[in-house]
Each structure stands twice: as C-alpha cells, then as structure tokens.
Structure 1
Amino acid sequence: MRLEGKSAIVTGGASGFGAGIVRKFAAEGARVMIADINIEGAKALAAELGNGALAQQVDVSRDESVSRLAAAAIMAFGKLDILVNNAGVSHQPAALDDISEADFDRVFLVNMKSVYLTARHLVPHMKANKAGAILNVASTAGVSPRPRLSWYNASKGWMINATKSMAVELAPIGIRVNAINPVAGETPLLKTFMGEDTPEMRAKFLSTIPMGRFSTPEDMGNAACYLCSDEASMVTGVAMEVDGGRCI
C-alpha cells in the first residue's frame, strides 16, 4: 500500500500503459481518476477497480477540457497528489517530409501541448500544497530515435526536456517531476510504430530489444508507482528507461 491516502490523475488511463499504471496505483491504495477521451473505457475500468476510482472524459489537447478535468479531480479528492501525463499518439511511419500537417498537429497537441495544459491547471494546486509528483510518459523514441517516426520522436524528446526543466523549477517548492521511457508494447500504438502488425515485423522490432520482449502495462505500472511514491522522495528530473536495454 505504497500509495495509500494518495490521489492521482492518469490521462489516457483507460487502455494500454495508462491502464497498467491505473491498476497498479489502485492496488497500492491510491484513489485514481481515469481521464480518457474514451469515457466508456474509463467507466468500465473504474467500475472494475472500485476503491474510489473515477472516470472523467478529457481531450488533453483542449484547454477547456483539461480545466474541467482539474476542477473535477480537486472537487472529488480535495487534494491531488499525483499527475500522470500518459495520453499520447503517433503518426504512421513515413518520410519526415511526407507527414501531413494534420498528423503533425495532432502529435504536437496530444503529446506536447497536453503537458503544458495539465501543468497550467494543476501545478498551482500543487504549489499551494507545497507537494506533488508529476510523471510524464515519454519514450525510448526521445532518446534513440527510430527512422520514419521523426515528429513522434521529436515530441517525446521535447517531453523529456520539459520533464527536466519542470523538475528544476518546481523542486524548491516540493514538487517532483520525472518521466519513464518505455519501448513499444502491447498497446493501441504498437501497429502505428511498426507500420503493420505481422510476425515478421514483430520479430524485427524485438531484435532491437536485448531482453527480447515488449514493455508491458505492468512494467509501466511498477516503474510509475516507484517514481510517484514517497520511496522516490529524492528522485526528480529522471527519465527512466523501462525498455529491456533498447537504449544501451
């Protein structure tokens, strides 16, 4: 029960890595708001977990939607201890100059602007409490970029840099900011990363991971739990690779 008495928001929490983080947080005693554009998925997971889990629809790319999320969480919990910026998208693998402006804008809004918007609406609350933990779910793509995913890679590199900058600025106030860098896993984004989901493409992708397997939602939940718990009270500005050796 390492998160007993804590409250958390997990964006993109209805599926994939986000759901893994939600499940771990709930198992460790936290009350969790599952924030997702897929409200039915969020409601189903909240009902399954119980323990005060709540569902909240959010479009993390829109200021008014994130503002409603922040207000709902503070009203429900009274105090927010943990924010996990997990929601993310990619574009299909393609030459960097062939990616459409619409696809670029979507990656920018969901992967980057969302971190600004959640900070804008929730960091003041954490400042008032002089405590809080923020976790950004970045990617190995921000450290060791894969070809034909240039703008996705860039968005995750931005997130890693934003994490470190936020950590330096907020540390004196008592707010810690970290990131985790998963390699691809069994999530809705896997097919996007590979271009096509075939046994051959999976084998090729797995050959780049020394441990020979994808990241799992459970892997992300375990890492997130540590970084957001009081056990990591001296850890801030870290981008932890949870990637089976992919970035070595």
Structure 2
Amino acid sequence: MPISQPIGIFDSGYGGLTVMKEILQQLPQYDYIYLGDNARAPYGNRSFETVYRYTLQCVEWFFEQGCPLVILACNTASAKALRSIQQNDLQRLNPDNRVLGVIRPTTEVIGQYTTSKKIGILATRGTVNSGSYTIEIEKFYPDITVTQEACPIWVPLIENNEHNSPGADYFVQKHLEHIIQQEAGIDVLLLACTHYPLLLDKIRKFLPDGIKVISQGEIVANSLADYLQRHPGIENRCSRSGERTFYTTDDPEDFDAHASIFFGEALHSKHLNL
C-alpha cells in the first residue's frame, strides 16, 4: 500500500482548480493530486466515447498513484464519463475506491436557491447535450423548470486570458440575454463549468437585478466534507500531510502561467505523458 494516499482531482484543463481552491479552504489537511489533461482539452465538444476514454485513462492513473478517491472536477467528464466508470470499470479497477463528480452535489442543493422554480444552466455544449443537469434536477426537484444555454466560446476566452477584455463582453451578454429570453422568471443561473467563475464579474454586470449566480466550488467542497464524514472507510485511507502535487499532460511552464488565474496563487506542475 502506498505511503501517500492523496485525493485525486481531475479536470480536462484548468477549471478544476477553482474547485480545488474551495476544497483546500475547507479540507486543507489531506494530500491532493491535481491532473489537468491540457494536451487533449477542451473536452466540451468531444464525443461521449472520447471523453469516457480520456477520463478513464486518467482515473486509472490516479489509482496507480494510490488515490482512494477521485473527484471529477469537470462537468463534461462528470456528464459523459462518470456513470460508466462507476458502473462498468470501478469493480475491475479497484472496488474499494470511489470516483465522484460535480453534477450530483450541485443538483442536490440547487432547489434551495430558487423561489420562482426556474433555473438556468450555463455550460459547455457537451454538458448541455448530455442532459445530465435536467435529469438530475428532475430527480430532486420535479417542480423546477430547467433552461440550458451552451456557451462554447467562454472557455477559450478564459484560457487565452481574454475574459477581462472588452471583447468578452459581447459573448457574455449574448448568452445571458438568450437564456433569459427563453424562459421568463429565471431567478438562478448555475455556472455549470468550472471555468466560468472567472467571468463572474462580467456576468453580474449584464444580469438584471434579482437573478442569483451560483458557482460550484463551495457546493462541491461542502459535499466532499459531508461525504468523508459519512464514509469513514474512505476517509481513513486518505493521507494527511497537506501535500499538493500538480500534473499536466501538456507543457508545465505554460500550465503554471495560466493556472494561477484559476487557483489564486502560483504553483509548479509536473509533466505527465499519457
């Protein structure tokens, strides 16, 4: 058994760092490994089969590093790969390990934020096309109306550090106006992509008063803390040295330069060849 048994946090690129940042605020005592599959990003427009194959490969790597628990801090991977991995692969890989996503924790509590029972989902095209949010919210809150809007240009804007530019205003305003026009009375917008919190100031700038904007980081961190409390068998296997290790499948120097935008502080990553 490896001496270090960190919690794995996975994303197709940088966005999962916004989730990891919130997790570290709540649960700093554990060891963590972050992997960004930047060489094959973005996942948002890829097929179900491709996202599943890439995500499974990364989960297998996490397990090889001794991780008893892996968080898919990526909405696209959670939507397109999580269920298949849980149902078809976990028993073969390691039935004692767990893989969790970001969609279910969010949908379990989203109904607490709305009074109109009308929620808007802003996400990548892959997440929207999967229907995962609509399906999961229906399970917990069958009386809520869900309206979705794919925002395919938002991730490239952020990853190219153009999200604060005046040029980004057009694309933010365009999608916000479209989703609001689709369904009158929306009072909650969920940022269902871990990149999107970096656009929060612009989003609020173009939104009418009375519409709340929800990011996932804090929700996922709360859910993880609750999960570990309820599953001592997993929690006891997670090592506690406060270590944080970062990997990218692309160039570490480039990753480090962009990652601080999402993580809020400088970091140093290592290259992983998958």
Query: Same fold per TM (> 0.5)?
Result: no
TM-score by length of 1: 0.45
Bigger-Rg structure (1/2): 2
Relative contact order: is structure 1 or structure 2 higher (C-alpha 8 Å, sep ≥ 6)? 2
